[in-house]
Amino acid sequence: MNATMHILFACPHHDPDAWVPRLAAAMPGCRISVWDPDGPPSGADIALVWRPPAELFKHETGLTTLFNLGAGVDALLKMPEIPSHVRIVRLEDAGMAVQMAEYALYALLRVSRDFEAFDHAQARQHWDTREGSRPADWPVGVLGLGQVGLRVAQTLADFGYPVAGWSRSPRDVPGVESFAGVAALPAFLARTRFLVNVLPLTPDTVGILNRDTLSRLLPGAHLVNVGRGEHLVEDDLVQMLEEGEIAGATLDVFHTEPLPRDHPFWHDARVHVTPHIAARTLRDESIAQIAGKVAQLQRGEAISGVVERSRGY
């Protein structure tokens, strides 16, 4: 890779005026440019991308590394236009883990403390002094114990909730009961009333939130999905809500986004819908992380966060 690296900002969904000057300040030894689909090839080594068009990779054939401005790389892995030799690097946390933990805690407190009922009571000017529940009544299960899942699990455990985590391989997390592997999934679900999904989307995890898995949860269970919409079999959840097999759900991601206006999730009071905002890309934190990794590449060092395509993350 060139000693003076050329970095291409190729994010149609982000304002280059807000990013490029800061990128240049963080990486003064690099050339920073903005992708112009109508211009000649830039000759860049590295591209910063988020939902890039396929034309980028037909146009910019000299790329060796992609930095994805987000934690999820499933969309990139579905693009056959990206050559196999091009390294894909995901953001590692960069401020997203704490946002996910905040979202999960918000959802947990909203449900376990019955805050929604008090909102309804206020609308009726009714002084509702119902009895509250205890953290022990809401055993939490976190699906996925990567950097984000670890932060979610530890945060909820710090608030006194009994927390377990499920992952592909065993993890040792203080204060969190660990379940690992497909064989352990039923036992993990059977002790969980509040399920938080933060798994990466891979062929093995598509549709993992289905009737079979959700029906194994404790009675009165609540689902939080902040992973990907494709993790959830939406029709199964709709039917389970109608049949009273699950109490409710807090959903931030969907098969189709924006969520269609006629989708039943909009109209079900047991479902809390948010528009894919659980964790946003934080510009300054992301730039700092990318600049550090570019400096490592310039020194010929290995970097973390490189996606293993065969595993999907």
- Asked whether residue 291 falls in the same domain as residue 239, the answer is no
- Asked whether residue 118 falls in the same domain as residue 137, the answer is yes
- Asked whether residue 118 falls in the same domain as residue 34, the answer is no
Rounded average pLDDT over 146-165: 98
**Is residue 205 a part of any domain in this protein?**
yes
132: left (phi over 0), alpha (psi -120 to 50) or beta: beta
DSSP string computed for 34-50: E--TTS-----SEEEES
Rounded average pLDDT over 131-149: 96
CATH number of the domain to which 123 belongs: 3.40.50.720
Does residue 105 surpass a pLDDT of 90?
yes
pLDDT tens, residue by residue, 4-61: 899 999 999 899 999 999 999 999 999 999 999 999 999 999 999 999 999 999 999 9
Does residue 162 surpass a pLDDT of 90?
yes
pLDDT tens, residue by residue, 273-310: 999 999 999 999 999 999 999 999 999 999 999 999 99
- Asked whether residue 129 falls in the same domain as residue 232, the answer is yes
Give the CB-side neighbour count of residue 124, counting CA atoms within 13 A: 9
Report residue 240's pLDDT band, with 50, 70 and 90 as the boundaries.
very high
Report the pLDDT value the prediction gives residue 132, as an integer from 0 to 100. 84
pLDDT tens, residue by residue, 242-261: 999 999 999 999 999 999 99
Report the pLDDT value the prediction gives residue 71, as an integer from 0 to 100. 80
Does residue 144 surpass a pLDDT of 60?
yes
Q: What is the 3-state secondary structure (H, E, C) of 2-35?
A: CCCCEEEEECCCCCHHHHHHHHHHHCCCCEEEEC
**Is residue 304 a part of any domain in this protein?**
no
- Asked whether residue 178 falls in the same domain as residue 194, the answer is yes
Catalytic site positions: 228, 276
Does residue 2 surpass a pLDDT of 60?
no
- Tally of domains within the chain: 2
Mean of the per-residue pLDDT values for the chain? 97
**Is residue 307 a part of any domain in this protein?**
no
- Asked whether residue 234 falls in the same domain as residue 116, the answer is yes
List Cα–Cα distances, 122 to 78, 117, 163, in angstroms. 48, 9, 32
Q: Give the length of the chain.
A: 313
- Asked whether residue 156 falls in the same domain as residue 236, the answer is yes
Rounded average pLDDT over 100-113: 98
Rounded average pLDDT over 143-149: 96
- Asked whether residue 195 falls in the same domain as residue 49, the answer is no
Q: Can you give the pTM of this predicted structure?
A: 0.94
Report the pLDDT value the prediction gives residue 63, as an integer from 0 to 100. 98
Report the pLDDT value the prediction gives residue 3, as an integer from 0 to 100. 64
- Asked whether residue 49 falls in the same domain as residue 138, the answer is no
**Is residue 33 a part of any domain in this protein?**
yes
**Is residue 309 a part of any domain in this protein?**
no
Higher pLDDT, 71 or 31: 31
d(CA 167, CA 102): 21
**Is residue 239 a part of any domain in this protein?**
yes
Angle at 173 between CA 167 and CA 176, to 5 degrees: 80
Strands 65-68 and 140-143: unpaired
Please name the amino acid found at residue 258: P
**DSSP-H helix ranges across the chain:** 16-26, 55-59, 74-77, 96-112, 115-123, 147-158, 185-190, 211-214, 234-242, 264-267, 283-298
Nearest partner of 30 among 11, 44, 12, judged by Cα: 44
- Asked whether residue 134 falls in the same domain as residue 263, the answer is yes
- Asked whether residue 259 falls in the same domain as residue 118, the answer is yes
- Contact at 8 Å (CB) between 9 and 16? yes
**Is residue 303 a part of any domain in this protein?**
no
**Is residue 112 a part of any domain in this protein?**
yes
- Contact at 8 Å (CB) between 218 and 162? no
- Asked whether residue 167 falls in the same domain as residue 149, the answer is yes
Structural domain containing residue 16: 6-93+281-298
Buried residues in 179-191 as b, exposed as e (16+ CB within 10 A): bbeeeebeebbeb
Report residue 68's pLDDT band, with 50, 70 and 90 as the boundaries.
very high
